[in-house]
Structure 1
Amino acid sequence: MSLRLSDFRDCFEGVIPSIIATTSADGVPNVSYLSHVEEVDDHHIALSNQFFGKTARNLRDNPQACVILVDAASGRQARLAVTWLRDEAEGPLFEAMTASLRASSAQVGMADTMRLASVAVFRVDAITAIPHPEGLEAQTQPAPPPRPSLERAADAITRIAAETETAGIVDAALDGACRLLDAPAAILFQFDTERQMLVTLASRGYLRTGAGSEIAMGHGIAGAAAALGRPVRVSDMSRLRRFGAAIRDTSSPEEETRTIALPGMPEAQSQLAVPIHVKGALYGVLFAESPRRLAFRRDDAAALSMIGNHAAATLLISEIMAREALPVPPKVGARLPKESFRVVHHTVDDSVFIDNDYVIRGVAGRLLVYLLERYLVEGRAEFSNREIRLAPELRLPDFKDNLETRLLLLRQRLEEKCCPVRLVRMGRGLIGLQMTHRPEIRRAP
């Protein structure tokens, strides 16, 4: 039976660098390591064109070459006899490999430094399986069986569709992602169009939820997936310095930076991030990580995208249903003790501190201050989404305000910080305040 490239798909993970051997016009051999080798189809591969000058010159003089691939999980090796055909500096293949390179580079803080000049496309003329050295095959653990990605994705989508509340939809999406990938941790990021940042909406499997933490477009695995509009997968983090860990190691306390630490797994070896969209626009990113190397495969990215996109569409429907819910007459809040808690609202970035402890900023910060002020002025503790959307001081966008998810984010953050004020759902399209003390609000630059 003839061998095909698809028989060696796990060799393209890039955990163990591949090797290319070329010869000059006068027959002098040269060997170089490769950072990225991509399977194009059963007859072609593509290499990231970051060759040393000698490799590039040899290919121009003699397009025949040899490439060796290694499967890090099983130790299998394949030797490919290839012929260089052309270089590509644009198009889908170039963009896909650029995404992979930028994601890897971002982990060491060089996302804007390491750039791919072009992609070298080769025809595969022959494939040879390299026999294991004596005794190695018996020592190598077999690769795990493929996961039923399609079935698990369908189950997650069914669970998401059964939910009507924002919190339930988000929980179903994160639980579905973890079950799909056999991963212990996942994060749902939402794209903040006002600040052009990814914001942690909710997470699963971390010591802290990290709700409200932010990551810039193009930074790290999640930021690269959002900026490039493509899934990004890393199979061996030991070769890279994790972006999230660098943030946690070098950042100052929240009170000084007004920055919430990203949730992260220090021992993570594999990461996968997929962008999710609604009506053709970026909604956010669904992200997962695992302490196992080679934990995520290509098919996992497609299945995770199905879960993420369905969750985003269901969240949009939930927003519309909450917007159309009929309001009820507001109830007057109960009399509170004389004790108070201090709320400082910094108008420059809408950051909010409670008793000198940083809580949140941006639209969620404005929203919290609005609710507290309405309580002090009108003596009520219950509000409808409809009236909140009409409040001019909140400056919510006319379209896609994501109010329900902003309220969920704020609710999680107040609970995580053990604040003296909490948000509670009073029904569809209704939100309430629970406080142990009376707020005293002060505005600052």
Structure 2
Amino acid sequence: MSTVGLSLHAIRPCLEGAIPAIMATCDADGTPNVAYISQAVYVDEGHVALSFQFFNKTRQNILRNPRAAVLVLDPRTASFYRLHLYYERTEDHGPVFESMRAQLAGIASHAGMAGVFDLKGADIYLVERIEAVSGDSLPPPPQRPGLLHALRTGSERMARCVGLDELLACTLSTLQEHLDIGHAMVLMLDATAEQLYTVASHGYATSGVGSEIRLGQGVIGVAAQERTPVRISHVTNAARYSHAIRDSLDAHADAGAPLQRGMDIPYPGLAEPHSQVAVPLVSAGRLLGVLFAESPEDMRFGFEDEDLLVAIAGQLAAAIDLLQAAPEVTAEPQPATARPPALSGAALRVRHFAANDSVFINDDYLIKGVAGAIFCKLLRDHLASGRVDFTNRELRLDPALRLPDVADNLEARLLLLQRRLQENSPHIHIEKTGRGRFRLCVLRPLVLEDA
């Protein structure tokens, strides 16, 4: 393969999708046709993949005459390159196809057009040669040194973490301090509800802990559903991302029921993001959640950033699995050694709705689902006996909580409950007292109502 001194890797920024590529083909009698291509993707040092979405003239030509020329532009330097291609095959499954389909679906869902853009296949082309097109250009941007060292530093910090709260905080601080990623979040999977919920974030005005995204919605939901990274480097739709990707109301509940009103925890994402990347958290073949980052800048995340985030997400997922598999406390919790604080003030009215285990404190929504069921169990035990110390193990053994048999994410649900209480109910909080142990602290009288 002759490339006239150029390698496909050297011009990889041209294949980021910031500017559509222009493809020229010819039919059997030599009549040319020119069209824009929505996706031109790097596959390896010798191949690119072009999106096949429509049975159009370009598609007809390439099946009759397998050679094509594609003009691509480096958005950093304004340099043009011409790729001379030879069509080899079309893939309708596999990692290349799934990655392209996920990115297209993410863009479509972001724009509120999910289901409109259907990727029929990924056309794989051999790159026979690459030509630099003469013309004025800009100097290339400076290299970003120290990325591998940043990965090593973050990896070492994550390896020392002994709890989920510490691990998530370490991961997000690594992104911020060493990779200069100012807006990021971690979401965990609720497999039963087929949705993700935010457990940690940084860089936003509100944490958004507890906000939900259904599988298949937006960049985050598509990355989770397809289990492949999705990166969008040039979001041009100015509509609010939060409006396009999520609706935290139960799709099967009566929209007019009083139970549902006020249960929409605001999603913490940027109102007008220009770059986004979502990486699934997968361990031992199981989806655990998503690591997500975004920026108000165009083209903030390149392929090297994606590679780094995939490496970090892999370690994060493995660490979460290891923490869940760590030995738990088997003995019954010991009575509280500290004297519980005296209760004062008006009683807090806690209402529990069994339909979806949603919990309201003084008419303000707190939480729902498994975390809501856990909270009500703790309150019942506390009101019945004054108990304040609990263990993770006893929660796992309680059939009333309906925890999944595999990957119950109990630590993540407890962390979610702890942070929701911190942000919304200063008179009730949960504090960790050891491995697999925690304490419920109540500062005001309680009235628990089951609705």
TM-aligned CA distance change 1:141 to 1:269, over 3 Å? farther
Residue 46 of structure 1 corresponds to 49
> In the aligned structure 1, how far is the partner of 2:71 from the partner of 2:388?
67
Residue 231 of structure 1 corresponds to 229
Instruction: Tell me how far 1:434 sits from its aligned partner.
Output: 2.2
Larger deviation: 345-354 or 269-278?
269-278
Residue 385 of structure 1 corresponds to 392
> In the aligned structure 2, how far is the partner of 1:163 from the partner of 1:409?
18
2:204 counterpart of 1:206: yes
Residue 304 of structure 1 corresponds to 309
Q: Secondary structure at the match of 2:105?
A: helix
Q: 1:165 aligns with which of 142, 163, 166?
A: 163
TM-aligned CA distance change 1:29 to 1:278, over 3 Å? closer
Query: Which amino acid in 1 is paired with 2:190?
Result: D
Residue 64 of structure 1 corresponds to 67
Q: Secondary structure at the match of 1:104?
A: helix
Question: For residues 124-180 of structure 1, what are the alpha-carbon distances to aligned partners after superposition, in whole Å with 9 as ceiling and x for unaligned?
Answer: 2221112334xxx3xx46324135333212211211111212211110111123345
> In the aligned structure 2, how far is the partner of 1:216 from the partner of 1:40?
30
Q: 1:196 aligns with which of 194, 197, 206?
A: 194
Instruction: Tell me how far 1:219 sits from its aligned partner.
Output: 1.0
2:286 counterpart of 1:281: yes
2:41 counterpart of 1:34: no
Higher fraction of helix: 1
Q: Output the TM-score relative to the length of structure 1.
A: 0.91
Question: For residues 248-280 of structure 1, what are the alpha-carbon distances to aligned partners after superposition, in whole Å with 9 as ceiling and x for unaligned?
Answer: 899999961522121111232111111112222
Q: Output the TM-score relative to the length of structure 2.
A: 0.90
> In the aligned structure 2, how far is the partner of 1:243 from the partner of 1:173?
24
Larger deviation: 396-405 or 153-162?
396-405
Residue 12 of structure 1 corresponds to 15
Instruction: Tell me how far 1:326 sits from its aligned partner.
Output: 4.9
Instruction: Tell me how far 1:17 sits from its aligned partner.
Output: 0.7
Q: Paired residues, what number? A: 439
Q: 1:151 aligns with which of 149, 152, 156?
A: 149
Residue 252 of structure 2 corresponds to none
In the alignment, is the contact (CA less than 8 A) between 1:244 and 1:264 conserved in 2?
Answer: yes
> In the aligned structure 2, how far is the partner of 1:240 from the partner of 1:30?
33
Give the unaligned 5+ runs of structure 2: 250-254
> In the aligned structure 1, how far is the partner of 2:56 from the partner of 2:355?
52
Residue 360 of structure 1 corresponds to 367
In the alignment, is the contact (CA less than 8 A) between 2:241 and 2:273 conserved in 1?
Answer: no
Instruction: Tell me how far 1:84 sits from its aligned partner.
Output: 2.7
Percent identical residues: 38
RMSD of equivalent CA atoms: 2.6
Query: Which amino acid in 2 is paired with 1:314?
Result: A
> In the aligned structure 1, how far is the partner of 2:333 from the partner of 2:222?
44
Query: Which amino acid in 1 is paired with 2:388?
Result: A
Residue 404 of structure 1 corresponds to 411
Give the unaligned 5+ runs of structure 1: none
Query: Which amino acid in 1 is paired with 2:356?
Result: D
Query: Which amino acid in 2 is paired with 1:153?
Result: L
Q: Secondary structure at the match of 2:10?
A: helix
TM-aligned CA distance change 1:249 to 1:407, over 3 Å? closer
